[in-house]
Amino acid sequence: MKDFLPKVNSYIKEAFSAGKYLFDGFTVTFDHLRRRPVTVQYPYEKLIPSERYRGRIHYEFDKCIACEVCVRVCPINLPVVDWVMNKETKKKELRNYSIDFGVCIFCGNCVEYCPTNCLSMTEEYELATFDRHNLNFDNIALGRLPTNVTTDPSVKPLRELAYLPKGVMDPHEVPPSDVRVGKLPEEVYDWMKPEVNDNRDPAITPKN
């Protein structure tokens, strides 16, 4: 009897502890049941990238003036602008332009600073290749129109999980005609404008 009671006591403590661990485990499991899925059935389904997605760069050869600003602002001087000087016209003649997407960090500096807007970031993100040298895009490859998830009939475009309506757990349930939750960047800017103007410090407000 003397040994029996401590043993029962220890057994109850262990049973209680095991129950607590089970409860903790189920808490995590049930918590995940309420969360949105984070995977899609790629490549049959694809997420629609956000408006400011920085994908493969598109380049327009005819607009480029070979100024090399894109090279100077690139953190790794990546774009290769191949031009020759025409001695008769005393103007640069562009021969080729290339960007190696195996090295590019998609920072968008070149797009931001190009004076003729001949560079733009697309929403194309499928750049996988078996040979890294194939990632070096010349002006013809860069000029190809980008693929688009929403216009590709072979895939089902899914709305970004972050933009699903409140309470909707599954992106498959939302009809494409439904208004997108969240604001577009320009809408956010418009919405912020009065507030920004109201809170502006007169000391730092530029004078016209």
| Identity of the residue, 69 or 161, whose beta carbon is nearer to ligand SF4 in the bound complex | 69
Q: Closest approach of Cβ 52 to ligand SF4, in Å?
A: 14
Q: Which of residues 96-115 bind ligand SF4 (CB under 6 A)?
A: 99, 104-110, 114-115
The answer to whether 67 contacts ligand SF4 (rule: CB under 6 A) is yes
The answer to whether 119 contacts ligand SF4 (rule: CB under 6 A) is yes
The answer to whether 146 contacts ligand SF4 (rule: CB under 6 A) is no
The answer to whether 65 contacts ligand SF4 (rule: CB under 6 A) is yes
Taking the mean position of all CA atoms in its chain, how far away is CA 134?
Answer: 22
Taking the mean position of all CA atoms in its chain, how far away is CA 179?
Answer: 21
Q: Closest approach of Cβ 92 to ligand SF4, in Å?
A: 9
Is there a contact between 136 and 102 (Cβ–Cβ < 8 Å)?
A: yes
Helix, strand, or coil (residue 32) = helix
The answer to whether 81 contacts ligand SF4 (rule: CB under 6 A) is yes
Nearest one of 113, 122, 7, 107 to 59, comparing CA atoms: 122
| Identity of the residue, 49 or 157, whose beta carbon is nearer to ligand SF4 in the bound complex | 49
Task: Name 146's Cβ contacts closer than 8 Å, sequence gap at least 6.
Answer: 55, 56, 58, 122, 123, 124
Which residue among 46, 48, 56, 70 contacts ligand SF4 (CB under 6 A)? 70
The answer to whether 66 contacts ligand SF4 (rule: CB under 6 A) is yes
131: part of which helix (H) or strand (E)? none
Distance between start and end Cα atoms, the chain: 95
| Identity of the residue, 119 or 149, whose beta carbon is nearer to ligand SF4 in the bound complex | 119
Is there a contact between 55 and 119 (Cβ–Cβ < 8 Å)?
A: no
The answer to whether 116 contacts ligand SF4 (rule: CB under 6 A) is yes
Q: Which pair of structure tokens corresponds to residue 105?
A: 């960090």
Residues lying near ligand SF4 in the complex (CB under 6 A) are found at 64-70, 74-76, 78-79, 81, 99, 104-110, 114-116, 118-119
